[in-house]
């Protein structure tokens, strides 16, 4: 049985600076209506957390802790405001009775897909190349005047992973009139994909037939480096790779070689080592757009993340199903 809402004790293990970005006044008021809420001063957990609190809220700024810190007589739920929960909570805590939810991950799907689409369009229309030259030379003829680019409707779009972000991206490109959208995802059936306007194919065919390959898959044992040198080599000359998901899905060394050679173009928000090293070969390439892992970072999404966490706690206290509970069955498939 869960604790009645009036007696609920909630600990928010997030720094004040990050809390201000995630929890607006209305969400804080909702949380306060559920019971006693304690906000951490530095993101750390109190020593008596597991025996003194019912619910734990975490995020990017939560301090690292040992699994035993969340196993005790009282704590029954931990809800994560950021992306993956696996960095903080090992599978073992589920086996010991703690329930987990990724309450903040769903609101980030739209902004991540938006940036993926933005990178797609910018690369197709060569915006970055023209802007860099026009800013540097102030010469229209040297900055792309008369140089033709590509429209998105005529492109064959490939999506690796029909995750929440992959589905949002599919909706966005089909909404822009793209007629050919294919995807690879071993966990999605053809009927589900068809409802999204997407045709399922195997990964090799997807790479060989895509003008734009957008990565929206989580990193698991099965997906790590699934876009290896062979798969990257199957991409058409001039193809575009967009990755706003996880760097480890693709062999970045193999991709970098193709980008340096100029055979492929890319829009990348994630990298094997972050921050990206100052001597990375990706800097200064005309065919590459890079952003510093900011795809999910919109003001609107951040506040929606806090609201989503609160929704999960309300459902838990009402003994109703949570929307984004992390069970043992899906734990290993999460990014």
- Residue 87 and residue 50 share a domain: yes
Structural domain contains residue 121: no
**Domain co-membership, 244 together with 273:** yes
Residue 6: predicted pLDDT = 66
Within this chain, do residues 78 and 164 fall inside the same structural domain, yes or no?
no
Say if 15 falls within a structural domain: yes
Residues 230 and 324 in one domain: no
Among candidate residues 158, 214, 162, the one with its CA nearest the CA of residue 185: 162
Segment-wise mean pLDDT, segments of 10 residues, the chain, 335 residues: 70 98 98 97 97 98 96 97 91 96 93 98 97 96 94 98 97 98 96 97 98 95 95 98 97 98 98 97 97 97 97 97 94 81
Bridge-partner residues for 8, per DSSP? 35
Question: How far apart are alpha carbons 104 and 115 in whole angstroms?
Answer: 18
Co-location of 182 and 274 in the same domain: yes
SS3 263: coil
d(CA 235, CA 133): 28
Q: Which domain holds residue 185?
A: 150-290
Which residues form the catalytic set? 246, 274, 293
- Number of domains within the chain: 2
- Do 312 and 284 fall within a single domain? no
> pLDDT per residue over 56-66, tens digit each?
999 999 999 99
* 160 and 96 together in one domain: no
Amino acid 1: pLDDT: 41
Asked if residue 56 lies in contact with residue 45, where contact means CB atoms within 8 angstroms, the answer is yes
Distance from C-alpha of 107 to C-alpha of 302, rounded to nearest angstrom: 8
pLDDT of residue 332: 84
- Residue 195: inside a domain: yes
Is 25 part of a structural domain of the chain?
Answer: yes
Q: Report residue 121 as tokens.
A: 């369009």
Are residues 25 and 56 both part of a single domain? yes
Say whether both 285 and 166 belong to one domain. Answer: yes
Same structural domain, 280 and 224: yes
Q: Name the H helices within 96-228.
A: 109-125, 127-137, 164-175, 190-195, 203-209
CATH of the domain at 229: 3.40.50.720
């Amino acid at each position: 049985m869960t604790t009645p809402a009036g007696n609920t004790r909630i600990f928010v293990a997030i720094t004040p600076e990050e809390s201000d970005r995630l929890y607006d006044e209305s969400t804080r008021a909702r949380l306060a209506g559920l019971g006693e809420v304690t906000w951490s001063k530095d993101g750390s957990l109190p020593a008596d957390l597991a025996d003194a609190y019912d619910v734990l809220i975490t995020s990017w700024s939560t301090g690292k802790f040992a699994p035993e810190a969340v196993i005790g007589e009282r704590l029954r739920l931990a809800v994560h405001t950021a992306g993956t929960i696996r960095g903080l909570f090992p599978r073992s805590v589920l086996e010991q009775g703690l329930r987990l939810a990724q309450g903040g991950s769903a609101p980030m799907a739209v902004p991540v897909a938006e940036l993926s689409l933005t990178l797609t369009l910018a690369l197709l229309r060569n915006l970055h190349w023209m802007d860099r030259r026009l800013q540097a030379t102030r010469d229209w003829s040297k900055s792309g005047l008369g140089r033709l680019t590509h429209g998105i409707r005529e492109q064959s779009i490939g999506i690796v992973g029909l995750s929440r972000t992959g589905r949002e991206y599919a909706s966005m490109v089909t909404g822009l009139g793209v007629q050919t959208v294919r995807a690879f995802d071993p966990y999605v059936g053809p009927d589900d994909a068809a409802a999204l306007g997407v045709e399922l194919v195997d990964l090799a065919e997807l790479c060989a037939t895509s003008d734009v390959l957008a990565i929206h898959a989580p990193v698991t044992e099965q997906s790590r480096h699934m876009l290896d040198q062979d798969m990257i080599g199957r991409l058409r000359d001039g193809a575009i790779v967009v990755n706003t998901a996880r760097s480890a899905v693709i062999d970045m060394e193999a991709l970098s070689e193709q980008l340096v050679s100029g055979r492929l173009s890319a829009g990348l928000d994630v990298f094997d080592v972050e921050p990206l090293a100052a001597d990375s070969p990706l800097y200064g390439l005309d065919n590459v757009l890079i952003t510093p892992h900011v795809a999910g970072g919109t003001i609107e999404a951040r506040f929606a993340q806090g609201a989503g966490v609160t929704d999960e706690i309300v459902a838990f206290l009402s003994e109703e199903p949570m929307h984004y509970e992390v069970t043992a069955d899906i734990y290993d498939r999460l990014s």
